[in-house]
Amino acid sequence: MRLLYVCTGNTCRSPMAAALTEKLGKELALPYALEVRSRGLYAAPGDPLSQYAREALGERGIEMEHQAAMLEEEDMKWADLVLTMTMQHKRHLWEEFPDFQDKTFTLKEYIREHGPQKAAGADAEATGASPAAEAEGPEESKAKQPQESGESGDGPDDFSWEYLESYFSSLDVRDPFGGELEVYRQTRDELEENIRHLLQLLAASVSQPEDAL
Protein backbone atom coordinates (compact mmCIF):
# COMPACT_ATOMS: atom_id res chain seq x y z
CA MET A 1 0.00 0.00 0.00
CA ARG A 2 1.50 3.30 -1.12
CA LEU A 3 0.21 6.38 0.71
CA LEU A 4 0.92 9.94 -0.39
CA TYR A 5 0.19 12.84 1.96
CA VAL A 6 -0.10 16.34 0.51
CA CYS A 7 -0.18 19.73 2.23
CA THR A 8 0.93 23.24 1.30
CA GLY A 9 4.63 23.60 2.09
CA ASN A 10 5.62 20.04 3.09
CA THR A 11 7.21 21.24 6.32
CA CYS A 12 4.44 20.61 8.88
CA ARG A 13 1.32 18.53 8.32
CA SER A 14 2.18 16.12 5.52
CA PRO A 15 5.62 15.10 6.86
CA MET A 16 4.13 14.72 10.34
CA ALA A 17 1.41 12.53 8.83
CA ALA A 18 3.99 10.41 7.01
CA ALA A 19 6.10 9.93 10.14
CA LEU A 20 3.09 9.04 12.28
CA THR A 21 1.86 6.60 9.63
CA GLU A 22 5.15 4.74 9.62
CA LYS A 23 5.19 4.58 13.42
CA LEU A 24 1.58 3.45 13.77
CA GLY A 25 1.97 1.00 10.90
CA LYS A 26 4.67 -0.82 12.84
CA GLU A 27 2.64 -0.79 16.06
CA LEU A 28 -0.49 -2.17 14.41
CA ALA A 29 1.31 -5.04 12.64
CA LEU A 30 -0.53 -4.37 9.39
CA PRO A 31 -1.29 -7.24 6.96
CA TYR A 32 0.27 -5.34 4.06
CA ALA A 33 3.55 -3.59 3.20
CA LEU A 34 3.34 0.15 3.73
CA GLU A 35 5.20 2.83 1.80
CA VAL A 36 4.69 6.50 2.58
CA ARG A 37 5.60 9.80 0.92
CA SER A 38 4.76 13.42 1.68
CA ARG A 39 4.77 16.34 -0.73
CA GLY A 40 3.77 20.01 -0.88
CA LEU A 41 1.79 21.97 -3.45
CA TYR A 42 3.97 25.05 -2.96
CA ALA A 43 7.02 23.59 -1.26
CA ALA A 44 10.44 25.23 -1.32
CA PRO A 45 12.56 22.17 -2.16
CA GLY A 46 15.06 21.40 0.57
CA ASP A 47 13.32 23.28 3.37
CA PRO A 48 13.66 21.42 6.68
CA LEU A 49 10.88 20.13 8.88
CA SER A 50 9.43 22.87 11.08
CA GLN A 51 11.19 23.00 14.45
CA TYR A 52 7.93 22.70 16.37
CA ALA A 53 6.84 19.80 14.17
CA ARG A 54 10.14 18.12 14.98
CA GLU A 55 9.60 18.68 18.71
CA ALA A 56 6.00 17.46 18.60
CA LEU A 57 7.08 14.28 16.83
CA GLY A 58 9.98 13.88 19.23
CA GLU A 59 7.48 13.65 22.07
CA ARG A 60 6.19 10.51 20.34
CA GLY A 61 9.68 9.07 20.05
CA ILE A 62 9.99 9.96 16.37
CA GLU A 63 13.23 11.37 15.00
CA MET A 64 12.82 12.55 11.44
CA GLU A 65 15.19 13.87 8.81
CA HIS A 66 13.17 15.66 6.17
CA GLN A 67 13.57 18.00 3.24
CA ALA A 68 10.52 19.54 1.61
CA ALA A 69 9.64 18.40 -1.91
CA MET A 70 7.17 19.62 -4.53
CA LEU A 71 4.38 17.35 -5.66
CA GLU A 72 5.00 15.91 -9.12
CA GLU A 73 2.85 13.80 -11.44
CA GLU A 74 5.16 10.85 -10.77
CA ASP A 75 4.10 10.97 -7.11
CA MET A 76 0.46 10.77 -8.13
CA LYS A 77 1.17 7.79 -10.36
CA TRP A 78 3.16 6.08 -7.60
CA ALA A 79 0.48 6.34 -4.93
CA ASP A 80 -2.35 3.90 -4.31
CA LEU A 81 -4.08 6.52 -2.18
CA VAL A 82 -3.54 10.30 -2.10
CA LEU A 83 -4.60 12.03 1.10
CA THR A 84 -4.65 15.80 1.42
CA MET A 85 -4.87 17.89 4.55
CA THR A 86 -7.70 20.16 3.34
CA MET A 87 -10.52 20.31 0.81
CA GLN A 88 -8.67 23.17 -0.90
CA HIS A 89 -5.67 20.89 -1.43
CA LYS A 90 -7.96 18.21 -2.83
CA ARG A 91 -9.64 20.63 -5.24
CA HIS A 92 -6.21 21.73 -6.45
CA LEU A 93 -5.21 18.12 -7.16
CA TRP A 94 -8.51 17.33 -8.87
CA GLU A 95 -7.93 20.26 -11.23
CA GLU A 96 -4.23 19.65 -11.87
CA PHE A 97 -4.35 15.84 -11.98
CA PRO A 98 -7.88 14.88 -13.11
CA ASP A 99 -6.82 11.35 -14.04
CA PHE A 100 -6.26 10.57 -10.36
CA GLN A 101 -9.47 11.93 -8.86
CA ASP A 102 -10.73 8.48 -7.91
CA LYS A 103 -7.89 7.96 -5.44
CA THR A 104 -7.62 11.50 -4.06
CA PHE A 105 -9.38 12.42 -0.81
CA THR A 106 -8.80 14.49 2.27
CA LEU A 107 -7.59 12.32 5.13
CA LYS A 108 -10.78 12.83 7.14
CA GLU A 109 -13.02 12.47 4.10
CA TYR A 110 -11.59 9.05 3.27
CA ILE A 111 -12.26 7.83 6.80
CA ARG A 112 -15.85 9.12 6.72
CA GLU A 113 -16.51 7.66 3.28
CA HIS A 114 -15.10 4.22 4.09
CA GLY A 115 -15.71 3.84 7.82
CA PRO A 116 -18.46 2.06 9.80
CA GLN A 117 -20.76 5.11 9.68
CA LYS A 118 -20.73 4.99 5.87
CA ALA A 119 -21.67 1.32 5.94
CA ALA A 120 -24.50 2.03 8.37
CA GLY A 121 -25.76 4.77 6.08
CA ALA A 122 -25.72 2.43 3.09
CA ASP A 123 -27.74 -0.17 5.02
CA ALA A 124 -30.24 2.50 5.99
CA GLU A 125 -30.62 3.62 2.37
CA ALA A 126 -31.32 0.04 1.34
CA THR A 127 -34.18 -0.15 3.85
CA GLY A 128 -35.43 3.35 3.06
CA ALA A 129 -34.78 4.78 6.54
CA SER A 130 -31.95 6.62 8.25
CA PRO A 131 -30.41 5.37 11.51
CA ALA A 132 -31.45 8.65 13.15
CA ALA A 133 -35.04 8.27 11.97
CA GLU A 134 -35.23 4.70 13.26
CA ALA A 135 -33.94 5.78 16.66
CA GLU A 136 -36.32 8.73 16.93
CA GLY A 137 -39.46 7.11 15.58
CA PRO A 138 -41.67 8.31 12.71
CA GLU A 139 -43.25 11.32 14.40
CA GLU A 140 -40.01 12.86 15.68
CA SER A 141 -38.30 12.22 12.37
CA LYS A 142 -41.16 13.74 10.39
CA ALA A 143 -41.13 16.83 12.57
CA LYS A 144 -37.46 17.44 11.73
CA GLN A 145 -37.71 16.97 7.98
CA PRO A 146 -38.66 20.54 6.97
CA GLN A 147 -35.72 22.05 8.84
CA GLU A 148 -33.27 19.47 7.56
CA SER A 149 -34.32 20.05 3.95
CA GLY A 150 -34.15 23.83 4.28
CA GLU A 151 -37.92 24.39 4.03
CA SER A 152 -38.12 26.55 7.13
CA GLY A 153 -35.97 29.00 9.04
CA ASP A 154 -34.30 31.99 7.40
CA GLY A 155 -34.28 30.29 4.01
CA PRO A 156 -32.84 27.30 2.20
CA ASP A 157 -29.76 29.19 1.03
CA ASP A 158 -28.85 30.19 4.59
CA PHE A 159 -29.17 26.63 5.82
CA SER A 160 -27.38 25.07 2.86
CA TRP A 161 -24.37 27.36 2.89
CA GLU A 162 -23.93 27.17 6.65
CA TYR A 163 -24.14 23.39 6.49
CA LEU A 164 -21.71 23.09 3.59
CA GLU A 165 -19.22 25.48 5.16
CA SER A 166 -19.33 23.55 8.42
CA TYR A 167 -19.11 20.18 6.68
CA PHE A 168 -16.16 20.99 4.45
CA SER A 169 -14.19 22.73 7.19
CA SER A 170 -14.68 19.64 9.35
CA LEU A 171 -12.78 17.64 6.71
CA ASP A 172 -9.64 19.77 7.11
CA VAL A 173 -6.65 19.13 9.34
CA ARG A 174 -5.69 22.29 11.18
CA ASP A 175 -2.65 24.12 9.81
CA PRO A 176 -0.21 24.78 12.68
CA PHE A 177 2.10 26.99 10.60
CA GLY A 178 3.02 30.11 12.57
CA GLY A 179 1.63 28.72 15.82
CA GLU A 180 3.31 27.80 19.08
CA LEU A 181 4.40 24.30 20.05
CA GLU A 182 1.02 23.57 21.63
CA VAL A 183 -0.69 24.19 18.28
CA TYR A 184 1.65 21.68 16.65
CA ARG A 185 0.85 19.19 19.40
CA GLN A 186 -2.84 19.59 18.67
CA THR A 187 -2.27 19.00 14.96
CA ARG A 188 -0.08 15.99 15.75
CA ASP A 189 -2.80 14.51 17.95
CA GLU A 190 -5.45 15.20 15.30
CA LEU A 191 -3.34 13.46 12.69
CA GLU A 192 -2.49 10.57 14.99
CA GLU A 193 -6.12 9.83 15.78
CA ASN A 194 -7.22 9.95 12.16
CA ILE A 195 -4.27 7.96 10.83
CA ARG A 196 -4.92 5.22 13.36
CA HIS A 197 -8.49 4.96 12.03
CA LEU A 198 -7.20 5.06 8.47
CA LEU A 199 -4.76 2.19 8.94
CA GLN A 200 -7.37 0.09 10.71
CA LEU A 201 -9.80 0.66 7.82
CA LEU A 202 -7.17 -0.29 5.28
CA ALA A 203 -6.23 -3.39 7.27
CA ALA A 204 -9.88 -4.46 7.41
CA SER A 205 -10.32 -3.97 3.66
CA VAL A 206 -7.21 -6.02 2.88
CA SER A 207 -8.19 -8.90 5.18
CA GLN A 208 -11.82 -8.96 4.01
CA PRO A 209 -12.71 -12.04 1.88
CA GLU A 210 -13.18 -11.33 -1.83
CA ASP A 211 -16.78 -12.58 -1.83
CA ALA A 212 -17.62 -10.06 0.91
CA LEU A 213 -16.37 -7.05 -1.03
Inter-residue contact 175 to 13 (CB < 8 Å)? yes
**Catalytic pick from 2, 12, 13, 174?**
13
**Catalytic pick from 7, 12, 37, 188?**
7
Catalytic residue status for 13: yes
Give me Rg for the CA atoms of the chain.
Answer: 20
For the chain, the 3-state helix, strand and coil shares in percent, each to the nearest 5, are 60, 10, 30
Check the CA dihedral 1-117-192-110 and report its sign: positive
* CA 21 to mean position of chain CA atoms: 13
Q: What gap in Å lies between CA 127 and CA 67, rounded to an integer?
A: 51
Q: What gap in Å lies between CA 207 and CA 209, rounded to an integer?
A: 6
Query: What positions carry a catalytic annotation?
Result: 7, 13
